[in-house]
Chains A and B, each alone.
Chain A
Amino acid sequence: MSNSNAGKNPLVEMRDIHLSFGGIKAVDGVSIDLYPGEVVGVLGHNGAGKSTLIKILAGAYTPDSGEIIVDGRAAKIENARDARDNKIETIYQNLALADNLDAAQNLFLGREIVSKTGFLDDVAMEHKAREVLHRLNPNFKKFNAPVAALSGGQRQSVAIARALLFEARILIMDEPCAALGVQETRMVGELIDQLKKDGLGILLISHDLHDVFDLSDRLHVMKNGQLVGTVRTEDVNHDDVLGMIILGKMPDHLIHLAGPGATNVPAPA
């Protein structure tokens, strides 16, 4: 394939993943991949299986069958800790922050820096937090306010900074721009560009095409638990992708890239 990822090894690959919930095939033979420095959108309607697929990668669900390969090695991801050990971090839609704590306290929640005497070293944590957040968002100033006082974009910065502190290399962002204003959405976009330059691989999950179209290099589109297809954003327009999301129909010029979920491909006999 002659794309920009030629010659690189994928950061993560999910191969032929199956997961059923009591007879309902939530994820049915889906394979996706993600390269370093790449932003990939995972699109689909509610119930298309995208969230389930991503939760498998995040360790929230264990697949019935299929392989997850991180950095060329098969990885066993059975819980959130395994995911973290594989440098996979998830930023949830509802932003898993404690509203009453400040930015630094949230960044270090669960792995606080303690001094030799065993007490929390808040100053050291704030120092590190300022460093990380400054890199992400130079305008971030409210270090001593509870995160409840921050704007949606600033909260998103804190959530991302938290993932970066874990030295995440694969970032899963669930509806990153939901409930954000125009300004804020642009800010998150800038953040994502920044992370991309740093060589992270980012999976953006959304049911809204507009949120992710401009941010993504490639799109995986899902319908009814199956992969409709994977396309490069530059090869398609909004209508093409809408057709994939709603009808499960691959654009005609890209029909050779169709996945098992595409409806305009004759089923193999």
Chain B
Amino acid sequence: MTQLFAKMEIDRRLVGLAAVLLIIWIGFDIASGGRFITPRNIFNLSVQTASVAVMACGMVLIIVTRHIDLSVGSILGVLAMIMGVIQADILPQFLGYNHPMTWIITLMAGLAIGALIGGIQGVAVGYLGVPAFIVTLGGLLVWRGAAWWVTQGRTVAPLDANFMLMGGGIHGTIGATWSWIVAAIAICAIIYNALISRRRRLAFEFPVKPVWAEWTNVCLMAGLVLAGIGTLNAYMLPSRAAEKILENRGIPVTPENLEISHGIAIPLLIVALVAIVLTIVAKRTRFGRYVFAIGGNPQAAELAGINVKRMTVAVFALMGVLCAISAAISSARLQSAGNDLGTLDELRVIAAVVIGGTSLAGGLGTIYGALIGALVMQSLQSGMALLGVDTSLQSIVIGLVLVLAVFSDKYFHRRYSDPSA
């Protein structure tokens, strides 16, 4: 089995993580009498995971560089408030309500302020030499306080109609046709990627994995994409919402027409986009290479001419930008911005990243691992909620799972640590 994975060049840790996720899903499905693995629940999971998943992608880079960011939940809170005020109080004075530019201006402002906040923390860590743990622990208090301060505690609502699409409500999905198009694009990309990298390696006469392994990998990934998107497409809009949409489009309402799919939720698309971009950044750019080099040996990185301080600022600024995206997703989902938004998210994000196999010692971690980690966390939480477990017990379970995940990772890593794997 191990050799099989080695031949296929599949990360064993990823297999373990996927197995854990599968066990959790099947377990909850059995315990809830078949209510967990349903199109509806999978769709909800995808939307609920989105905000934490986006931040987890950035947290991977932070932890890989041997830092930590405890302030992401608070930064999310203050950015959600600022974006709330911009779209609900400021822009309508000039553009009127629900102007098509409102959401773009709001989001851009949020991203810029997020980068600024993250950058400030990065300067404190990189240039002033204050440990990230302390800087961001301070940040946790500062930005949560700032979130209250934006409106003196008033919850901002209603938000801009277009902005709210990012939250993935009934309108915030792309429907069946577009979902299938996305699936087709994804599968083409998977095949293209496999072909190109194989051809490059063959051109230099490097060893490549056997053809069967290549195809198995491609088929596995394509199968996952199809299954996932098929599931999301199988979740139909409630009939009343479908009726409304049909009326708006001027299509006669008949029983067949009423079968309208949700398809992929916009927040899930955002997660996919963020994850793909950051994976490319991590693997294929100098920036990403330097992030990992700094995590592996800061001194060596410095000697190689890498500006470690500037890199630190950049990584924290990137984290701030991702907090802005998450702030948009979570406030849009709740259709309002409250100053307690994102409370305890820092723990969910760090847990997701650590469960996803990122080493707290730095130098090691993957974006896709963090995504699965986020899904594991959210599955546990949603599953327990579905079974009617008290929130207090939920916290206990999730806390234990986090510790167990780190322990098992350390244990298996030490035990089966095969350097060539």
Beta-carbon contacts of A95-109 to B below 8 Å, as 1s and 0s?
011111100011001
**How many residues of chain A are within 8 Å of chain B by beta carbon?**
31
Q: Which of B200, B296, B306 has the most CB of A within 10 A?
A: B296
Chain A hits for B55, CB < 8 A: none
A120 touches B289 (CB 8 A): yes
B206 touches A123 (CB 8 A): yes
**How many residues of chain B are within 8 Å of chain A by beta carbon?**
27
Bound form: Cα–Cα A80–B303 in Å: 8
Chain B hits for A149, CB < 8 A: 419-420
Q: Would you call the interface of chain A mostly helix, strand, loop, or mixed?
A: loop
Residue in contact with A145 in the complex, picked from B295, B300, B364, B420, CB distance below 8 Å: B420
Count, A-B residue pairs, CB within 8 A:
76
Beta-carbon contacts of B193-226 to A below 8 Å, as 1s and 0s?
0000000110110100000000000000000000
Chain B hits for A127, CB < 8 A: 204, 206
Residue in contact with B286 in the complex, picked from A120, A124, A142, A145, CB distance below 8 Å: A120
- Beta-carbon contacts under 8 Å, A109-159 to B: 109-112, 114, 118-120, 122-124, 126-127, 142, 144-146, 148-149
Chain B hits for A110, CB < 8 A: 304-306
Contacts A80-B303, A119-B285 given: A98-B297 contact, CB under 8 Å? yes
The reply on A186 being an interface residue by CB < 8 A is no
Closest approach, in angstroms, between the C-beta of B47 and any C-beta of chain A?
32
B293 touches A145 (CB 8 A): no
In the complex, which residue of chain B has the Cβ closest to the Cβ of A80? Answer: B303
In the complex, which residue of chain A has the Cβ closest to the Cβ of B302? Answer: A96
A146 touches B419 (CB 8 A): yes
Residue in contact with B292 in the complex, picked from A100, A124, A142, A144, CB distance below 8 Å: A100
The reply on B363 being an interface residue by CB < 8 A is yes
Chain A hits for B311, CB < 8 A: none
Beta-carbon contacts of B255-299 to A below 8 Å, as 1s and 0s?
000000000000000000000000010011110010011011101
Closest approach, in angstroms, between the C-beta of A39 and any C-beta of chain B?
24
Bound form: Cα–Cα A96–B204 in Å: 28
A100 touches B206 (CB 8 A): no
Bound form: Cα–Cα A122–B201 in Å: 10
In the complex, which residue of chain B has the Cβ closest to the Cβ of A94? Answer: B299
- Beta-carbon contacts under 8 Å, B298-327 to A: 299-301, 303-306
Bound form: Cα–Cα A112–B284 in Å: 11
A119 touches B284 (CB 8 A): yes
The reply on A81 being an interface residue by CB < 8 A is yes
Chain B hits for A96, CB < 8 A: 297, 299-300, 303-304
Bound form: Cα–Cα A109–B289 in Å: 8
Bound form: Cα–Cα A110–B295 in Å: 15
Bound form: Cα–Cα A105–B301 in Å: 12
Bound form: Cα–Cα A52–B303 in Å: 18
Q: Would you call the interface of chain B mostly helix, strand, loop, or mixed?
A: helix
Chain A hits for B419, CB < 8 A: 142, 145-146, 148-149
In the complex, which residue of chain B has the Cβ closest to the Cβ of A95? Answer: B300
B289 touches A112 (CB 8 A): yes
Bound form: Cα–Cα A127–B108 in Å: 42
Chain B hits for A98, CB < 8 A: 292-293, 295-297, 300-301, 363
B297 touches A144 (CB 8 A): no
- Beta-carbon contacts under 8 Å, B216-259 to A: none
Bound form: Cα–Cα A167–B333 in Å: 57
A126 touches B206 (CB 8 A): yes
Residue in contact with A99 in the complex, picked from B280, B283, B289, B297, CB distance below 8 Å: B297
Chain A hits for B200, CB < 8 A: 123
Bound form: Cα–Cα A266–B305 in Å: 48
- Beta-carbon contacts under 8 Å, B355-389 to A: 363-364
B295 touches A100 (CB 8 A): yes
In the complex, which residue of chain A has the Cβ closest to the Cβ of B361? Answer: A100
Closest approach, in angstroms, between the C-beta of A97 and any C-beta of chain B?
6
Beta-carbon contacts of A39-64 to B below 8 Å, as 1s and 0s?
00000000000000000000000000
Chain B hits for A119, CB < 8 A: 280, 284-285
Bound form: Cα–Cα A122–B282 in Å: 13
Chain A hits for B364, CB < 8 A: 100
B305 touches A99 (CB 8 A): no
Chain A hits for B363, CB < 8 A: 98-100
Residue in contact with B201 in the complex, picked from A111, A114, A123, CB distance below 8 Å: A123
Bound form: Cα–Cα A119–B306 in Å: 17
Bound form: Cα–Cα A60–B305 in Å: 14
Bound form: Cα–Cα A112–B301 in Å: 13
B303 touches A105 (CB 8 A): no
In the complex, which residue of chain B has the Cβ closest to the Cβ of A150? Answer: B419
Chain B hits for A120, CB < 8 A: 283-286, 289
A97 touches B305 (CB 8 A): no
Known A96-B303, A120-B289; further 8 A-B contacts with Cβ < 8 A: A81-B305, A97-B300, A98-B301, A100-B292, A101-B289, A101-B292, A109-B306, A123-B206
Chain B residues near A (Cβ < 8 Å): 200-201, 203-204, 206, 280, 283-286, 289, 292-293, 295-297, 299-301, 303-306, 363-364, 419-420
Chain A residues near B (Cβ < 8 Å): 80-81, 92, 94, 96-101, 105-106, 109-112, 114, 118-120, 122-124, 126-127, 142, 144-146, 148-149
Q: List 30 A-B contacts (CB under 8 A).
A: A81-B305, A92-B303, A96-B299, A96-B300, A97-B300, A98-B295, A98-B300, A98-B363, A99-B296, A99-B297, A100-B292, A100-B296, A100-B363, A101-B289, A105-B289, A106-B300, A109-B289, A110-B304, A112-B286, A112-B289, A118-B285, A120-B286, A120-B289, A122-B284, A123-B200, A127-B204, A127-B206, A142-B419, A149-B419, A149-B420
Ordered nearest first, which 3 A-B pairs have the shortest CB separation? A149-B419, A98-B296, A110-B304
